[in-house]
Amino acid sequence: DMNTENTEIMDFDFRRILEAIIDRWKMIAITTITLGLCAALYSSFLITPLYKASATMYVNNNKNTVSENLSNNDITASLQLVPTVMRIFDSRTTLGEVAKKIDLGYTADDIGNMISFSSAEDAQILTLTVVNPNPEHAYIIANAIADTAPIKATEIMDGSSVKVIDYAEQPDHPFSPKVLKNTFMGLVLGFLISVCVAVLIELTDNSIREENDIKKLYPDVPIIGTVPEIKVTLDEKTN
């Protein structure tokens, strides 16, 4: 019946796809290893390593110390100040002072492109992160901002304060590129591409290799007979 024929076709197609993968395993293995190796080499030698240095600060809506108890209203007011503090830290005025202070040849815009900020929604902690190809520069810039920007924020937001909790440390290892991750992605991509190519070659191959191939191409034509496969041993060949 129709269901049986559909099942046979599905079984045949699945077996054909599986055979295509097995028959072309060398091509699949070579492609997989090649793309994985290319990803590893590209990540290791062609991508500029980037280093990250971070400093954390405490934002308060008054000049009280961190250890003093604050009311819920004080905490809410402090949380609302965090976006404003970020804007002050990222302002051209603040970064211009930082650029002059460190004297490393960077402009305010250059430093602005290196920095980013993050803060939890329910916390008064602001994290400043500097990304730079030079680990020492990342460290110097982060701490220069941590020293300069809180003073500038306090001057602008009268009655508020920004205090440094942790200064940045000089990074020992780059955070980007992630060589192992990129290599793994290259291996996965190489495997998927090679498998797809192997299956595509198989599905576009109209060669008739067995009885089921004829049935699939000509379902209404009866098969009169088939030639059995004859295996000849080495002894029979020599005789």
Q: Tens of pLDDT along 37-70?
A: 999 999 999 999 999 999 999 998 875 544 455 5
The band of 129, judged by pLDDT with boundaries at 50, 70 and 90, is very high
| Contact present, 160 and 91 (Cβ < 8 Å) | no
Over the Cα atoms of the chain, what is R_g?
33
**Partners of 131 in the beta sheet?**
52
CA atoms lying within 13 Å on the CB side of residue 174:
13
Query: Looking at residue 239, what is its pLDDT?
Result: 54
User: From CA 40, how far away is CA 45, in angstroms rounded?
Assistant: 9
Contact 163, 66 (CB under 8 A): yes
From first CA to last CA, the distance across the chain in angstroms is 49
For residues 139 and 171, the answer to whether their CB atoms sit within 8 Å is yes
